[in-house]
Chains A and B, each alone.
Chain A
């Protein structure tokens, strides 16, 4: 059996989350990947361990990974594959259900475990329950949570690269512009350490107290929905049910009370540290280590201790 993985990329680099999708696909059989983008991205894809073939779509219509042309392309390639897989990020969630509809398949989103080639575990009700589902479709279309699968090694493979011809699709969408949050830090979903702030940070200005700590730890910065809604940080920082799902080795929560919807996004982290001035905050019920106190004193101390 062979699986086709849609490898999404950002600013000319393959997203870390896509490497986790490759790992998931290796559990299903031989792995081919589809890259819609520049030559450099296809060359990078060919080096991923466990990938035997790279399908490279070079046409300009695929440059921004728009769902309409990309879904049509996937459908045209789907014949030879038993599984079509992508990371459960913005690209995979946008493109794969559309392709599934065109293939008359019910997609299986957010897979966290592969039981059999047709049976998968996925969270429902914001992770309050785990459903094991078995698909009767002849092809399976799935997105996988990057937090549940280790990233495939970016080096070590030597796949062949095959250019695939563009296919016709309705010309109904046009890319206009992209606005990415500028950051030198690792991607939130795949970072080993995440430093996260909540309403307790008080303001956009004060939120920056987390920067030196994140720099010291090489961590990504996240936030609770309360912090995002208060305008301290942009939307894409949000960890939780409606934001990003993370499972780093170390998650440090500062001034986050621990609403259910936030816990849904981080409770699978290996080690959780919580700092909150309220000893009754629900975050302490999931934290391995807690400190009750003023984060504005604790964060600089911690940064200093770790340097």
Chain B
């Protein structure tokens, strides 16, 4: 069974995003970029399934600018076998990404597509569900545990009040939550080896997908900042302030 893992290049997790002065978006020029952390978890899960003998090949896909090939190389250094880069303008929307991925799935015929549950830039949390809808496949979103057996996959999902187990007929879509696994670091020899792994480049237009965004960004602004309050000296003083000043108890 082949596994396809889409990965996104985003502003690094440790960088505090800065809103552009003209309010058109968040500054990405000259900012450190990395693989979306949830996508790293998805890559790790696919590699583990290959190591267990459940999967035979892990193919990573990124849709975006030329530099996204760095992200694909990182995934291959972790252990993915080959990569596909679909060139497109920066930051296509989940609907367009899902359509591109549908075309890739038609070509690759994987048994599983594992995605991160959301990208930490636009926080959409939608691509996996949308791809599942377009394909008519089952979806195991927010996965905390994945077990593949006999043409199906059992997924333990993180839900509001706890967890829920569902089983899905293969092929299926899984989206990785935070605690599915701890992604490995790529070793130096593997980073070197990844440079020689195959990376195919396509154009979104060649796949017949219209990438025109449906959402226009009217403006991007800083959220209102909270002011630090006061330190109080005792529990009695705190209770007095909560009762008489803040009036919340």
Measured CB to CB, the residues of A under 8 A from B are 10, 15, 17, 64, 66-68, 71, 89-91, 93-102, 104-110, 119, 122-137, 170-181, 187, 189, 193, 217, 234-236, 241-242, 244, 249-250, 260, 267, 270-273, 279, 284-292, 298, 301-302, 305-306
Give the docked Cα–Cα distance between A181 and B177 (Å). Answer: 18
Is the CB–CB distance between A97 and B94 below 8 Å?
yes
Is the CB–CB distance between B123 and A123 below 8 Å?
yes
Is the CB–CB distance between B215 and A108 below 8 Å?
yes
B46-54, B197-205, B221-229 - interface stretch: B221-229
Is the CB–CB distance between B144 and A249 below 8 Å?
no
Check B148 for interface membership: any CB of A closer than 8 A. no
A189 surroundings in chain B (CB, below 8 A): 160
Is the CB–CB distance between A125 and B214 below 8 Å?
no
Contact indicator per residue, chain B 119-137, by CB within 8 Å of chain A (1) or not (0)? 0111111110111111011
Check B189 for interface membership: any CB of A closer than 8 A. no
Given A68-B138, A108-B215, A137-B214: A125 touches B241 (CB 8 Å cut-off): no
| Number of chain B residues close to chain A: CB under 8 A | 76
Is the CB–CB distance between B129 and A172 below 8 Å?
no
Is the CB–CB distance between B123 and A306 below 8 Å?
no
Is the CB–CB distance between B121 and A67 below 8 Å?
no
Is the CB–CB distance between A129 and B223 below 8 Å?
yes
Kindly list the 6 A-B residue pairs having the minimum CB-CB distance in the complex, ordered from nearest: A101-B130, A172-B138, A288-B229, A101-B133, A97-B129, A97-B126
Is the CB–CB distance between A124 and B123 below 8 Å?
yes
Indicate the member of B221, B229, B233 with the most A CB atoms within 10 Å. B229
Indicate the member of B98, B160, B217, B242 with the most A CB atoms within 10 Å. B160
Interchain Cβ contacts under 8 Å between A and B, 6 examples: A107-B94, A127-B223, A267-B226, A289-B241, A305-B235, A306-B239
Is the CB–CB distance between A124 and B220 below 8 Å?
yes
Check B16 for interface membership: any CB of A closer than 8 A. yes
Is the CB–CB distance between B139 and A94 below 8 Å?
yes
A98 surroundings in chain B (CB, below 8 A): 129-130, 132-133, 139
Give the docked Cα–Cα distance between A147 and B226 (Å). Answer: 17
Interface of B is mostly: mixed
Contact indicator per residue, chain B 17-49, by CB within 8 Å of chain A (1) or not (0)? 101000000100000000000000000000000
Check B230 for interface membership: any CB of A closer than 8 A. yes
Q: Give the nearest-CB partner of A263 in chain B.
A: B226
Give the docked Cα–Cα distance between A77 and B16 (Å). Answer: 42
* Tally of A-B Cβ pairs under 8 angstroms: 252
Give the docked Cα–Cα distance between A15 and B235 (Å). Answer: 35
Q: Give the nearest-CB partner of B239 in chain A.
A: A305
Check B219 for interface membership: any CB of A closer than 8 A. yes
Check B67 for interface membership: any CB of A closer than 8 A. no
A71 is contacted by which of B121, B133, B229, B232 (Cβ under 8 Å)? B133
Given A124-B121, A289-B241, A291-B238: A100 touches B95 (CB 8 Å cut-off): yes
B76-84, B103-111, B161-169 - interface stretch: B161-169
Closest Cβ–Cβ distance, residue A121 to chain B (whole Å): 9
Given A106-B93, A180-B161: A133 touches B218 (CB 8 Å cut-off): yes
Contact indicator per residue, chain B 132-157, by CB within 8 Å of chain A (1) or not (0)? 11101111011010000000001001
Q: Give the nearest-CB partner of A188 in chain B.
A: B160
A290 surroundings in chain B (CB, below 8 A): 229-232
Give the docked Cα–Cα distance between A271 and B244 (Å). Answer: 13
B231 is contacted by which of A93, A94, A284 (Cβ under 8 Å)? A284
A136 is contacted by which of B154, B178, B216 (Cβ under 8 Å)? B216
